[in-house]
Amino acid sequence: MNEEPLLEFKKINKYFTGVHALKNIDFRLDRGSVHCLAGENGSGKSTLVKIASGVYTPTNGTISLHGTTYEKLNPGIAMSQGVHVIYQDLSLFEHMSLAENIAISKIHRDEKFVRKSHIMAIAEKQISKIGVDLDLHATVRESSMGNRQIAAICRALAMDAKILFMDEPTTALTRQEVDRLLDIVVDLKRSGLSIVFISHKLDEILQVSDIITVFRDGNKVGDFPAGEMTAKKLSFYMTGKDVAYPKYQNSETKRQALLQVRNLKANKLSDISLDVNKGDIVGVVGLLGSGRSEFALSLFGLNPAKSGTITLNGRECTIANAQVAKEYGIALLPEDRSTQGLFLQKTVCENISSAMIDTLAEKRGFFDWRKERKIAEEGVKSMNIKTPSIATLIENLSGGNQQKAAIAKWIRTNPTILIMDSPTVGIDIGSKAEIYHVIQNLAGSGIGIILISDEVEEILTNCNKVVVFSNGKVSKTLSTSELHEAGIEKRLQELISLGARRKQYAEKA
């Protein structure tokens, strides 16, 4: 480490009202390296990124960028020095093409008039740097999350990025897209770009990083060479304790049928049949477009069945909309909590009570505010939600606590079936362990759980049977005994990937 670092923090502190967010932090980023930031939500990672990009001003300490020392940066200085951040929302213009998104900042800076040929030339040059095939004419809205992520990277490259911060870049990607992105990160490092990679996924951190800096409660725990780190050690440094994910043990005495689906046909679904018994956690896996999320929406009345039967507690039912689903005891924790599962501008109290709003309005037109507070307080207590009060805006909570509030909302309705679509996406390992504990306890109490997830480890930890979706159909069902066979993790990943190959063959035929 004799070479001068591209970016260096010395004795950086950052205070917010009542919060010491960063405590005397030293940090250095070397040229041509992948430096991962690891830590639970609220540990200080995001604050460091915002100081480096000029969004926040440190309370004290110094920043060195390309050898020049600053007491503070602003976004203009940071970007002019090649510091770029790709946030989770990517900040792309959905109605514009990928080429336009890649070129827009450079054209805005360099030219008064815009030529389409120049836009394409800029975009094609950046795409060639990372060696991928991308439909540059497609709009962002038409593109997969993986292609959007690549467009965001190319936009930074077009602006002569020297330092690239990537905040949870794989959150919404399929396994294949994750592998492609990690390969791109390694290639960019070899080209001389310095990358700060932020993720809760320990396997990705260990796979792609050179150095790992661990944060906990605003403190830097240490800098660790990735080659000397294991997932167990990393999780301990992040949380200060050993994190274990105990496997779900389903009681064989609880075999009452709760949900029976037979020959269900709906939009993007064909001939779906499966059973959920009392105490089951049924894993549903499959690639993007396999029909797994459409199945969840169908059970919740948002993708109504065209034919087939749905039987709940021995009673055949027609689920025409979400209100009917709720009346039958079906609850859905959707894939995207921020846009589909929560009202971010509302309080913790309002969010937890929102699924029971009809029971809070009295017949005379009055609203039972006392009952609403009681529901919220019980939800906060039962889910161990860390919040200053139930009057706190839910957008101010960490991702893990937001998700626990979303779960609490549905638990208060006493569901028979709880569908959970990607419940731990973007959540740190400590909160993930808590949510696994909640899922298993709910199933142990007799609720039937349908767990949709991209993470094979999550499925094998929590589920007592698994259904594999492919091209809108159930391609394979794995029993409890099969899930305990040697090599099941590899086999399950192969079954998921098989669906993608079948789809490719069908498209070529």
CA separation for the pair 384, 401 (Å, rounded) = 8
Q: Give me the residue label for tokens 């909640």.
A: 438
For the chain, residues classed under CATH 3.40.50.300 are: 7-239, 251-329+415-509
Q: Give me the residue label for tokens 């899930």.
A: 483
Q: For position 93, what pLDDT does the model report?
A: 94
Q: Give me the residue label for tokens 């213009």.
A: 93
Q: What is the CATH number of domain 7-239?
A: 3.40.50.300
User: Could you tell me the maximum CA-CA distance found in the chain, to the nearest angstrom?
Assistant: 76
Answer yes or no: are the C-beta atoms of 232 and 278 closer than 8 Å: no
Torsion over CA: 459, 460, 462, 467 (sign) = positive
The residue type of 477 is T
Q: For position 237, what pLDDT does the model report?
A: 95
The yes/no answer on whether domain 251-329+415-509 falls in CATH 3.10.590.10 is no
3-state secondary structure of 57: coil
Q: For position 361, what pLDDT does the model report?
A: 79
Q: Give me the residue label for tokens 């439909």.
A: 135
CA separation for the pair 40, 99 (Å, rounded) = 35
- Give the DSSP per-residue string, 367-430: B-HHHHHHHHHHHHHHHT---S-TTSBGGGS-HHHHHHHHHHHHHTT--SEEEEESTTTT--HH
CA separation for the pair 149, 152 (Å, rounded) = 5
3-state secondary structure of 12: strand
Kindly tell me the burial class for residue 124, based on how many C-beta atoms sit within 10 Å of its own C-beta (0-12, 13-18, 19 or more): middle
Determine the distance from the C-alpha atom of residue 295 to the mean position of all C-alpha atoms in its chain, rounded to a whole number: 20
Q: Give me the residue label for tokens 């951190």.
A: 205
Residues with Cβ within 8 Å of 320's Cβ and at least 6 positions away in sequence, in order, are 301, 304
Q: For position 364, what pLDDT does the model report?
A: 66
Answer yes or no: are the C-beta atoms of 282 and 463 closer than 8 Å: yes
Per-residue pLDDT of the chain (509 residues; tens, 9 = 90+): 568 899 999 999 999 988 899 999 999 999 999 999 999 988 999 999 999 999 999 999 999 999 999 999 999 999 999 999 999 888 999 999 999 999 988 876 556 667 889 899 999 999 999 989 899 999 999 998 899 999 999 999 999 999 999 999 998 787 788 999 999 999 999 999 999 999 989 999 999 999 999 999 999 999 999 999 999 999 999 999 988 888 998 755 557 899 999 999 999 999 999 999 999 999 999 987 899 999 999 999 999 999 999 999 999 999 999 999 999 999 999 988 888 889 999 999 999 999 998 888 766 678 889 999 999 999 999 998 989 999 999 998 888 899 999 999 999 999 999 999 999 988 888 889 999 999 999 999 999 999 999 889 999 999 999 999 999 999 999 988 898 888 888 888 888 877 544 444 344 34
Q: For position 499, what pLDDT does the model report?
A: 52
Q: For position 504, what pLDDT does the model report?
A: 43
What are the distances in angstroms from CA 263 to CA 95, 143, 273, 298? 38, 32, 5, 13
CA separation for the pair 162, 151 (Å, rounded) = 17
For the record, the structure tokens of 233 come out as 């050690």
Torsion over CA: 35, 38, 43, 45 (sign) = positive
For the record, the structure tokens of 392 come out as 């706190």
For residue 62, the cross-strand partners are 10
CA separation for the pair 362, 287 (Å, rounded) = 45
